[in-house]
Amino acid sequence: MRYKWRLLLAIVLTIGSNLLALVGPLLSGYAIDAIELGFGKVNFNQVFYYAFWMVIFYITSAGLTYILEVLMITVSRKVTYAMRKDVFNKLLDLPIGYFDVHQTGDVISRITYDIDTINSSLSNDLIQVSSAVITVLGSFLMMLAISPKLVLIFVFTVPISIVMSKYLVKKTRPLFGRRSRKMGELNGFVEEMVSGQKTLRIYDQEENTINKFNVKNKEAVEAYYNAEYYGSMIFPTINLINNVSLACISVFGSLLYLAGEMTIGQISSFVLYSRKFSGPINEMANIMNDLQSALAAAERVFALLDELPEAEDTEEMAELKTVKGNIILENVRFSYDANQVIIRDLSLQVEAGKLVAIVGPTGAGKTTIINLLMRFYDVESGNIYVDGNEVHELTRDSLRKAFAMVLQDTWIFHGSIYENLTYGKENATMEEVVKAAKAARIHSFIEHLPNGYETILSDAGTPISKGQEQLLTIARAMLMDAKMLILDEATSNVDTRTEKKIQEAMRHLMKNKTCFVIAHRLSTIQNADLILVVDRGDVVERGTHEVLMEKAGMYWQLYQAQFD
Amino acid sequence: MKRIMTEYLRPFYRRMAFGVFFKFTGSIMDLFIPYILAYIIDSVIPLNDKNQIYYWGGMMVICAIIGMVFNIVANRMAARVASDATEVIRHDLFSKVMVLSNHQMDAITKPSVISRLTTDTYNVHQMIIRIQRLGVRAPIMLIGGIIVTMTLDPVLAMVLIGIMPIMVVIIILVSKKSIPLFGGFQQAIDGFVRLVREDINGIRVIKALSKTDYEKERFDAINAEVVNREKKARMTVAVIQPAMNVCLNLGLVCVVVVGAYGVNNGTSEVGKILAFMTYFTIILQAVLAISRIFEVWTKATASADRIVRVLDVDDSLEVQVMEEKTKKPFYLEFEDVTFSYNKEEPNLSNISFGLKKGETLGIIGETGSGKSTLLNLLLRLYDADAGTISIDGRNIKSINPRELHKKFGVAFQNDIIFEATINENINLGRNLSDEAIKEAIISAGAKEFVDEKSDKSEEQLTIKGANLSGGQKQRILIARALASRPEILVLDDSSSALDYKTDAAFRKAIKENFEDTTIIIVAQRVSSIRHADHILVLENGMAIGYGKHKHLIKTCEVYREINHSQMGGVL
Please indicate whether, in this complex, the C-beta atoms of B209 and A423 are within 8 angstroms of each other.
Answer: yes
Mean pLDDT of A456-467: 67
Please indicate whether, in this complex, the C-beta atoms of A401 and B209 are within 8 angstroms of each other.
Answer: yes
Q: pLDDT at position B520, please?
A: 92
**How many other β-carbons are positioned within 10 Å of the β-carbon of residue B300?**
24
- Domain A75-305, architecture per CATH: Up-down Bundle (1.20)
Percent of chain A with pLDDT over 90: 0
Sorted by where each begins, the domain ranges of chain A are 75-305, 321-402+484-492+514-564, 408-481
Q: Tell me how far apart the alpha carbons of residues B560 and A277 are, in angstroms, rounded to a whole number.
A: 90
Spell out which residues of chain B touch residue A208, defining contact as CB-CB under 8 Å: 428-429
CB B499 within 8 A of CB B470: no
- Would the pLDDT of A273 be above 70? yes
CA distance A421 to chain B (A): 12
**Residue A517 falls in which region: left (phi positive, over 0), alpha (psi -120 to 50) or beta:** beta
Closest-CA residue to A369 (of A350, A393, A396, A397)? A350
- State the number of CA atoms in the 13 A half-sphere of A60 facing the CB: 17
Hey, is the C-beta of B370 within 8 angstroms of any chain A C-beta? no
Please indicate whether, in this complex, the C-beta atoms of A463 and B341 are within 8 angstroms of each other.
Answer: yes
**Residue B210 falls in which region: left (phi positive, over 0), alpha (psi -120 to 50) or beta:** left
Q: Which residues pair with A416 in a beta bridge?
A: A456
Hey, is the C-beta of B530 within 8 angstroms of any chain A C-beta? no
Is it true that domain A408-481 has CATH number 2.40.30.170? no
- Would the pLDDT of A424 be above 60? yes
**How many other β-carbons are positioned within 10 Å of the β-carbon of residue B321?**
7
Please indicate whether, in this complex, the C-beta atoms of A526 and B570 are within 8 angstroms of each other.
Answer: yes
Q: Tell me how far apart the alpha carbons of residues A204 and B428 are, in angstroms, rounded to a whole number.
A: 9
Of A31, A225, A374, the CB nearest to B79: A225
Mutate to test the interface with B, among A232, A394, A476 (most CBs of B within 10 A): A232
The domains of chain B, with CATH numbers, are 2-184+237-310 (1.20.1560.10), 332-567 (3.40.50.300)
Please indicate whether, in this complex, the C-beta atoms of A190 and B117 are within 8 angstroms of each other.
Answer: yes
Q: What are the angstrom distances between the C-alpha of A327 and each of A482, A490, A526, B205, B520?
A: 14, 21, 21, 21, 44
Closest-CA residue to A327 (of A389, A377, A370)? A389
> Taking each helix axis from N to C terminus, what angle separates B470-482 and B434-443, rounded to the nearest 10 degrees?
130
Q: In what side-by-side order are the strands of the sheet with A484-488?
A: A403-406, A484-488, A514-518, A355-359, A530-535, A538-543
Structure confidence by residue, pLDDT tens digits, B22-71: 888 887 887 788 778 878 877 887 777 888 888 888 888 888 888 888 88
Phi, psi of A3 (to 5 degrees): -115, 35
The residue of chain B with its CA nearest to that of A500 is B565
Higher pLDDT, A313 or B536: B536
Structure confidence by residue, pLDDT tens digits, A240-268: 888 888 888 888 888 888 888 888 778 87
Mean pLDDT of A63-89: 85
Hey, is the C-beta of B421 within 8 angstroms of any chain A C-beta? no
pTM of the predicted model as reported, rounded to 2 decimal places: 0.72
Hey, is the C-beta of B78 within 8 angstroms of any chain A C-beta? yes
Spell out which residues of chain B touch residue A45, defining contact as CB-CB under 8 Å: none
Hey, is the C-beta of B344 within 8 angstroms of any chain A C-beta? no
Please indicate whether, in this complex, the C-beta atoms of A55 and B250 are within 8 angstroms of each other.
Answer: yes
Q: Tell me how far apart the alpha carbons of residues B387 and A242 are, in angstroms, rounded to a whole number.
A: 77
Of the spans A273-277, A486-490, B130-134, which averages the highest pLDDT?
A486-490
The residue of chain B with its CA nearest to that of A276 is B281
Spell out which residues of chain A touch residue B472, defining contact as CB-CB under 8 Å: 362-363
The residue of chain B with its CA nearest to that of A520 is B499
Q: Tell me how far apart the alpha carbons of residues B137 and B27 are, in angstroms, rounded to a whole number.
A: 6
Q: Which residues contact B59 (CB under 8 A, 6 or more apart)?
A: B36
Hey, is the C-beta of A61 within 8 angstroms of any chain B C-beta? yes
Q: pLDDT at position A372, please?
A: 86
Hey, is the C-beta of B319 within 8 angstroms of any chain A C-beta? no
Q: What are the angstrom distances between the C-alpha of A394 and each of A93, A371, A378, A386, A483?
A: 17, 16, 13, 9, 16
Please indicate whether, in this complex, the C-beta atoms of A84 and B223 are within 8 angstroms of each other.
Answer: yes
> Quick one: CA torsion of A78, A80, A86, A90, rounded to 10 degrees?
-160
- Would the pLDDT of A562 be above 70? no
Cα distance between the two ends of chain B:
61
CA distance A222 to chain B (A): 7
Q: pLDDT at position A2, please?
A: 58
Alpha helices in B153-211 (DSSP H): 154-201, 203-208
Closest-CA residue to B159 (of B45, B255, B48, B295)? B255
DSSP 8-state assignment for residue A513: S
- Regions of chain B where pLDDT drops below 50: 569-571
Please indicate whether, in this complex, the C-beta atoms of A39 and B264 are within 8 angstroms of each other.
Answer: yes
Q: Tell me how far apart the alpha carbons of residues A197 and B101 are, in angstroms, rounded to a whole number.
A: 9
Q: Which residues pair with B68 in a beta bridge?
A: none
Closest-CA residue to A466 (of B371, B53, B353)? B371
Q: pLDDT at position B514, please?
A: 85
Q: Tell me how far apart the alpha carbons of residues B328 and B325 are, in angstroms, rounded to a whole number.
A: 8
Spell out which residues of chain B touch residue A403, defining contact as CB-CB under 8 Å: 208
Closest-CA residue to A534 (of A364, A384, A344)? A364
CB B157 within 8 A of CB B79: no
Of A31, A250, A524, the CB nearest to B37: A250
Of A47, A88, A192, the CB nearest to B418: A192
Cα distance between the two ends of chain A:
69
Q: In what side-by-side order are the strands of the sheet with B488-492?
A: B408-411, B488-492, B518-522, B360-365, B534-539, B542-547
Structure confidence by residue, pLDDT tens digits, A13-59: 777 777 777 777 777 778 777 777 767 777 788 888 888 888 888 88
Question: Taking a contact as any Cβ pair under 8 Å apart, which residues of chain A between 523 and 542 contact chain B?
Answer: 523-527
- Would the pLDDT of A459 be above 60? no
One fold for A321-402+484-492+514-564 and A408-481: yes
**Fold (CATH) for A321-402+484-492+514-564:** Rossmann fold (3.40.50)
Of the spans A184-193, A273-282, A488-497, B222-231, which averages the highest pLDDT?
B222-231
Q: Tell me how far apart the alpha carbons of residues A172 and A451 are, in angstroms, rounded to a whole number.
A: 56
Q: Tell me how far apart the alpha carbons of residues A125 and A72 are, in angstroms, rounded to a whole number.
A: 10
Question: Taking a contact as any Cβ pair under 8 Å apart, which residues of chain A between 407 and 426 contact chain B?
Answer: 407-409, 411, 413-414, 423-424, 426
Higher pLDDT, A466 or A218: A218
CA distance B348 to chain A (A): 13
CA distance B4 to chain A (A): 17
Of A51, A62, A113, the CB nearest to B119: A113
Closest-CA residue to A476 (of A535, A436, A524, A432)? A436
Please indicate whether, in this complex, the C-beta atoms of B430 and A203 are within 8 angstroms of each other.
Answer: yes
Q: 3-class SS at A540?
A: strand
Q: pLDDT at position B569, please?
A: 41
Of B86, B230, B405, the CB nearest to A203: B405
Q: Tell me how far apart the alpha carbons of residues A542 and A551 are, in angstroms, rounded to a whole number.
A: 10
Phi, psi of B388 (to 5 degrees): -125, 150
CA distance B401 to chain A (A): 9
Hey, is the C-beta of A35 within 8 angstroms of any chain B C-beta? yes
Q: Tell me how far apart the alpha carbons of residues B210 and B217 are, in angstroms, rounded to a whole number.
A: 13
Q: What DSSP string describes A73-140?
A: HHHHHHHHHHHHHHHHHHHHHS-HHHHHHS-HHHHHHIIIIIHHHHHHHHHHHHHHHHHHHHHHHHHH
